Amino acid sequence: MIGLSAECQPSSVSAARRLLAEVSRVVVLTGAGVSEESGVPTFRGPGGLWRQFRPEDLATPEAFGRDPRLVWEWYNWRREKIAAVEPNPAHRALAELEARLKAGATAPVRPLTLVTQNVDDLHERAGSRSVLHLHGEIWRLRCTGCGREDYDRRVPLDPLPPVCACGSLLRPAVVWFGEALAPDTWDAAVGAAQACELVLVVGTSALVYPAASLPAIALQAGARLIEVNRDPTPLTPRADVSLQGKAGDLLPQLL
């Protein structure tokens, strides 16, 4: 691994740039840290959502069963926050990386797959196209009765909790604790991780599984690993290059 300390950063940035220049198939895994500079709160650490709220009260099927209005109030609040913010330089750099790899692609394979744990749409708004939302999307609503799923950007949603035309409650189409990821999305993420030459992990504490296993799957298949994070994570010792700092500062330097 290439050093972590502040004085090593310039050489680490060059090392990461060199690695990126050598590859044509990349998987990017992002977490809440990539949206932090846009003003979306992270989950863990200072100011994190799980410091103020208990996930078992707001982000489980049981919580929704007990008090759907409370859960919806929280998601309404988060929808309002996400609607009010803009993509930051980290989102834009990742969109640019995808465009660059696509422009240079010689084989008919997808050169970059962006796998995000974030439920916001800031990657798409920055221009990323190949995005897999492992934990769902906050703008999608799913009926708990008929299963119909719709995109709905109304802010605020009123009345709460919202109800489907079939009469059943609608829920946010996100993955709650204790629920499985959408199999198609997960399979696509694993396939991309197994086929990539480099995995770039940005702004995730790498604590929540199965998302956190993707870098290990890529490493197992022979990929290199670059990590960009404000703080060290369990992945840091396995990274070929670890860049410690803000994603919005560091990612533009990688291009």
Distance between CA atoms of residues 199 and 226, nearest Å: 6
What are 239's strand-pairing partners? none
Region binding ligand OAD by CB under 6 A among candidate stretches 44-52, 99-107, 215-223, 234-242: 44-52
**CA 99, 13, 3, 95: dihedral to nearest 10 degrees?**
-20
Q: Between 110 and 139, how does the x/- string for binding to ligand OAD read (CB under 6 A)?
A: -------x-----------------x----
Question: Do you know the residue count of the chain?
Answer: 255
Check residue 42 for interaction with ligand OAD (CB under 6 A). yes
Interface with ligand OAD in residues 212-241 (CB under 6 A): 229-231, 233
Asked whether 115 and 27 are in contact (CB, 8 A), the reply is: yes
Catalytic residue at 133? no
Interface with ligand OAD in residues 183-202 (CB under 6 A): none
Q: Minimum CB separation from ligand OAD for residue 34, in Å?
A: 7
Q: Which of 2, 26, 29, 37 binds ligand OAD (CB under 6 A)?
A: 37
Tokens of 145: 């009765």
Strands of the sheet containing 26-30, edge to edge, are 131-133, 112-116, 26-30, 198-202, 224-229, 241-244
Check residue 12 for interaction with ligand OAD (CB under 6 A). no
Check residue 15 for interaction with ligand OAD (CB under 6 A). no
Distance between CA atoms of residues 13 and 247, nearest Å: 12
What are 244's strand-pairing partners? 229
Which of 80/231 has CB closer to ligand OAD?
231
Residues assigned a catalytic role: 135
What are the residues binding ligand OAD (CB under 6 A)?
A: 31-33, 36-37, 42-45, 48, 59, 117, 135, 175, 203-205, 207-208, 229-231, 233, 246-247
